[in-house]
Amino acid sequence: MTKTKAISLVSVLAVLILAGSWSYLNLVRETQGKSYWEWHNLREQGFEQLRRELRPLIDVAKGAHFNAEQVAAQAKKVDAAAKAIPTLFEAVAPAGAAGPEIWASSSEFGQILNAFLSKTSSLSTNPPATAEDLRAAIDAIQLDCAECHRNYRD
């Protein structure tokens, strides 16, 4: 190996080690008693719970048997799961698929989240009486998931 090659190899390694330690240090950084990584894990669990609770309603919207009482009960669970989300974003902890733009001053994240929460809230307090109403409500909710993910989930 020539001297130049050895020098460039060492520089590449140094850059990799620096970049690696920077991301590692960022993930173990703590805010409000938890590391960024823990905040990310809690957010992921919160969204997975939301998706789990929404699933039965999506099935009904897609044609499974419509039972108004079951739909109303499930809607309450969806809303409860949705209401657990905002606190998971109170700490500024960019990690995982949640980038710093969520917490930037120009961010519209809060508006999208509020619009989303008002939909799950009305789904719960004023549950759909027909499969068609349910379908419309689920479509609108899923548009919010998609809009927020497009803009704020890397």
Stretch that binds ligand HEC, among 5-13, 58-66, 96-104, 121-129 (CB under 6 A): 96-104
Q: Is the CB of 133 or the CB of 147 nearer to ligand HEC?
A: 147
Q: Is the CB of 124 or the CB of 144 nearer to ligand HEC?
A: 144
CA distance 41 to 21: 20
Angle at 19 between CA 151 and CA 93, to 5 degrees: 45
Q: Is the CB of 75 or the CB of 141 nearer to ligand HEC?
A: 141
145 binds ligand HEC (CB under 6 A): yes
By CB under 6 A, the residues from 106 to 135 that bind ligand HEC are: 109, 112-113, 116
Instruction: Take residue 16 and report the two structure tokens written for it.
Output: 């990799």
97 binds ligand HEC (CB under 6 A): yes
**What residues contact residue 100 under an 8 Å CB cut-off, 6+ apart?**
94
- Residue 107 CB, nearest approach to ligand HEC (Å): 10
Q: Is the CB of 66 or the CB of 96 nearer to ligand HEC?
A: 96
Buried/exposed 91-101: b ≥16 CB within 10 Å, e otherwise: bebbbbebeee
- Asked whether 134 and 116 are in contact (CB, 8 A), the reply is no
- Residue 60 CB, nearest approach to ligand HEC (Å): 15
Read off the amino acid at residue 67. Answer: N
CA distance 108 to 150: 12
Q: How many residues in the shown chain lie near ligand HEC by CB under 6 A?
A: 22
Stretch that binds ligand HEC, among 5-13, 20-28, 38-46, 68-76 (CB under 6 A): 38-46
Q: Is the CB of 44 or the CB of 133 nearer to ligand HEC?
A: 44
Instruction: Take residue 68 and report the two structure tokens written for it.
Output: 């108004």
